[in-house]
Structure 1
Amino acid sequence: MDKLQGKVAVITGGSSGIGLAAAKLFVAEGAYVFITGRRQKELDEAVRAIGGNVTGIRGDVANLDDLDRLYESVSSTARRIDIVFANAGIAEFATLDNITEAHFDKLFSTNVKGVLFTVQKALPLLNNGASIILTGSVASAKGTHAFWVYGATKAAIRNFVRGWTVELKDRGIRSNVLSPGPIDTPIIDQQPPDAIARILSTIPMGRMGQVDEVAKAALFLASDDSSFVTGIELFVDGGRAQI
């Protein structure tokens, strides 16, 4: 279990769900992990659950000062970064006639601006040959009732990695999107049951995914197992985006 031996990873949104599952797996595979979360209590609980080789730093990726504090914390340990997993994101449903400016700004601020500056501010600490992973969504590729503002944020970051694949090639830095389908996470628990039921009915495998299944895909993109993989969108969605 040493696919990430000696590596340093930053995982935003690491206090729950996919981010926490990935942090646990990355540490088990030999990495030292910095995780972020907006709520101190949940962040402390996540650090305890991971158990070691982890630092928790409270912050909101939509707040650029918080991102500066994150990377100052990494720099203060004299570590450099091998993996950035820009995973933090929020999801809300709203139909066209109910869209508000606040809804739009909230989603784009975290899911697009937050992802962009999470990566940009990491660049001075990124080792050549590093791996950048963004959490996308099947919603970027499928039209989903009342969920398309969220889907648009994920489509935007899909384009980010296409550009970064070209822009960062001289440093050997790989950029990929990991796009889950419906996964059993706290975000799902916050959504209307009828909306989730509609989505589940479209999944060929007939079930919701688990966070560990997504974490294993993140490990692939983070490790040398994907050394010739860049610019892709890897769906972990039970087939939903493929039909």
Structure 2
Amino acid sequence: MRYLGKKAVVTGGTHGMGRATVDKLIAQGAEVLLTGRSTEKAEGVKAHVVKSDAANLQDVEKLETEVRERLQSIDLLFINVGYSTLTPFPQATENDYDRTFDINTKGAFFTAQRLAPLINDGGAIVFTTSVATEQGAEGLTLYAAAKAAVRSFARGFAAELAPRDIRVNVVSPGFIDTPSMGVVGASPETLQEFKEIGDRITPLKRHGTMDEVADAVLFLGFDATFTTGSELAVDGGLGQGVQV
């Protein structure tokens, strides 16, 4: 049991990459608290399940209380909340802008701020960003900008938490096979087209798996003990200048 005795919080842990990380942690003995806007998908998971909306600062404050009461302290905080739509910028509304930044950016910042005091010295924070921050892509301008801010947060938090030996890093996925493909409200036809594009433009000519992202998160969380402020790409070479 590799993570026996370890405690972790995974936000956005009911499905996708967050859920894959939760499952791996639990399988290796960790005690986990996961969050989601809806908790139905987490039924039966051997974890503490908390309904929480990252865009709602009252929920973030309540999450701090839940973590303190249920776990007391933690070794890993994986901030995995994300929200994107395939909306070209001429069509983007103020609501699109606010929702994208409230979830991806504001939620990530204040979750880290509220839970950092509960992280054991020597622990870790991992954020999820995206290969979209490295490239311009139609329909993803707001999402890319919001996630780029999170990348900057990680560097700043790494500096501020270094005196406690808390490492802060980022996992940056490319095209990953998840139920929603990381996009809200897209039709099945659009998602299929999105998948075909991903397979075509990714140098390794396939999508990554949720488990491959989870493995990267756990590496940053527990194994990369002299790594902080860094970004680990899990994108099949898409954002790394690999030409095939």
Q: Work out whether the TM-score is over 0.5.
A: yes
TM-score range, shorter chain: over 0.9
Cross-structure match for 2:148: 155
CA contact under 8 A between 1:36 and 1:43: conserved in structure 2?
A: no
Read off the aligned partner of 2:9 and give its amino acid letter: V
Segments of 4+ moved more than 6 angstroms: none
Is the partner of 2:201 in helix, strand or coil? coil
Cross-structure match for 2:164: 171
CA contact under 8 A between 1:15 and 1:42: conserved in structure 2?
A: yes
Determine whether 1:130 maps to 2:123: yes
Structure 1 vs Structure 2 CA RMSD = 1.4
Question: Between the two proteins, what is the percent identity of the paired residues?
Answer: 40
Runs of 5+ in structure 1 lacking a partner? none
Compute the displacement of 1:78 (Å): 5.3
Cross-structure match for 1:198: 197
Q: Distance in 2 between matches of 1:200 and 1:21?
A: 21
Compute the displacement of 1:58 (Å): 0.5
Over residues 159-197 of structure 1, what are the superposed CA-to-partner deviations in whole Å (9 max), with x where a residue is unaligned? Answer: 011111111110111000101001111221754233443
Residue from 56, 60, 66 that aligns with 1:63: 56
Compute the displacement of 1:117 (Å): 0.8
Is the partner of 2:99 in helix, strand or coil? helix
Cross-structure match for 2:86: 93
CA contact under 8 A between 2:14 and 2:39: conserved in structure 1?
A: no
TM-score (norm 1): 0.92
CA contact under 8 A between 2:174 and 2:208: conserved in structure 1?
A: yes
Determine whether 1:236 maps to 2:234: yes
Is the partner of 1:10 in helix, strand or coil? strand
Is the partner of 1:187 in helix, strand or coil? coil
Over residues 96-130 of structure 1, what are the superposed CA-to-partner deviations in whole Å (9 max), with x where a residue is unaligned? Answer: 21111111111100000010011001022111111
Cross-structure match for 1:77: 70
- Number of residue equivalences: 235
TM-score (norm 2): 0.92
